[in-house]
Structure 1
Amino acid sequence: MANPTVSFETSLGTFTAELFLDQMPSTVSNFVDLVNAGFYDGLHFHRVIDGFMLQFGCPFSRDARSRQAGTGGPPPGSNYTCMGKTVARMPDGSMPDEFPNCPRISNEPGTLSMANTGAPNSGGSQFFVNTVHNDFLDFWRSDLSESQHPVFGKVKSGMDIVMKIGKTPTDQGDAPKTPVKMIKVSVA
């Protein structure tokens, strides 16, 4: 089975990414389940840092000015299917880390990486797109940072749109001053 391609239609343009289902089956299956449920449609990028990354996927970001943006995830206790098996999300909606089995793919420009709180098993729906090489976020690089973020995809087209979003002027909390909306995310 080929790796899925996802299209991200934003208010600033569209970009596409390949998801590494062959290497990160649980993380990608969780993400695809949320895409197919329409979870991401209508949300806003809630954190954009020029020369670093853009973060997305919090349900509270439906309101671009919500003070809770960046704190939410999938529905608590919901399920997704991975390789024919049902996987239960945790009571807070997060999913189990895939670190022990995932490949060492670095957080290079254009890669999609799971966001988390820094605690084990705290990823859920939020992810970020790296705009520079953030190797200090690589899960195996404990010599640089305790923060661990596994890469699960890479932008294939529209990197100019990603960089355009990355240059969006932001407020003191790193939220775009002019909201950048995710109109539709779809699996091709």
Structure 2
Amino acid sequence: MRLSVLLLTLFLISPAWAKKPPKKKDYLVTINTDLGSMRLILYDQTPKHKANFIKLTQEKFYDGLLFHRIIQNFMIQGGDPESRNAKPEQMLGNGDVGYLIPAEFVPERFHKKGALAAARNNNPEKASSGCQFYVVQGRVWDDESFRAQTERIAQLKGRQPTDAQKQVYQTLGGTPHLDGNYTVFGEVIDGLAVVDSIARQPANPLNRPLKDLKMTVSGEWMKKKKITKQYGYVYQK
């Protein structure tokens, strides 16, 4: 497991990925589905996850894969390579690309609605899957339920959401108990309604949608000012 993490680290700093991104530009990701399209940005504070997702996107790795696990008021998950042309009764969720990504926990990047995060197994380092990801739907929390949730988080992890994060969880929504456990490396900046549409689809007892929800994923380098103007996303300074 540690070897897998090391191999990915060496791969990401190889000459092919040592090049700096275009100046004043960012990589805008588009995930297309039959239920609509989502546009996402990837955080610079999680460089290994960002580089890996760009690599897989440019290789068209995700095209034809499924959102294979959906739970309403929680999240939608995809990226399992075994989901391509999977049979209706096939169990999914264990496919991978042969490596893990070291965890990149950034306290200000949290599990608000629309957060893009990496799935993982139960490895003690909390290293991420090299390909599987999820997008948070979550729920809106009232004072009482949020207080109970954060007290539990504090007991388990010794941390509390900031006041700003609390406000987001109580207005936009999200899944606060995942913070500090899974790497958040991007967010949806357009198409949150698509997350809702996918999450509410009928699913079997294993949370696989009864109707296949295929994706295609593409990306382009775009000026940050244009992203802000077109989608309203404000970059942190």
The alignment's TM-score, normalised by the length of structure 2, stands at 0.64
- Tell me which amino acid in the other structure corresponds to 1:114: A
Distance 2:197 2:38 in 1: 11
Partner of 1:187: 219
CA pair 30-180 structure 1, distance change in 2 beyond 3 A: same
- State which structure, 1 or 2, has the greater radius of gyration over its C-alpha atoms: 2
1:98–1:12 Cα change, 3 Å: same
| TM-score, with structure 1 as normaliser | 0.79
Question: Are the equivalent residues in 2 in contact too, given 1:60–1:69 (CA < 8 A)?
Answer: yes
Return the alpha-carbon distance in structure 2 between the equivalents of residues 98 and 151 of structure 1: 8
Higher strand share: 1
Asked if 1:95 corresponds to 2:140, the answer is: no
**2:111 aligned residue:** 107
**Higher helix proportion, which one?**
2
Structure 1 moving runs of 4+ over 6 Å: none
SS of residue in 2 equivalent to 1:98: coil
Partner residue, 2:208: 175
1:56 alignment partner in structure 2: 78
User: In structure 1, how many angstroms separate the alpha carbons of the residues matched to 2:128 and 2:188?
Assistant: 24
Identity rate, percent: 36
Q: CA RMSD in A?
A: 1.5
| 1:118 Cα deviation after fit | 2.6
Give, as a single letter, the amino acid of the residue that structure 1 aligns with 2:190: S
Aligned length: 159
Q: Residue 117 in 1 paired to residue 121 in 2? A: yes
Alignment check: 8 A CA contact 2:118 2:128 kept: no
Gapped regions of structure 1 (runs ≥ 5): 77-92, 140-147
Paired with 1:179 and 1:68, the residues of 2 have a C-alpha distance of 13
Shift of 1:18: 1.0
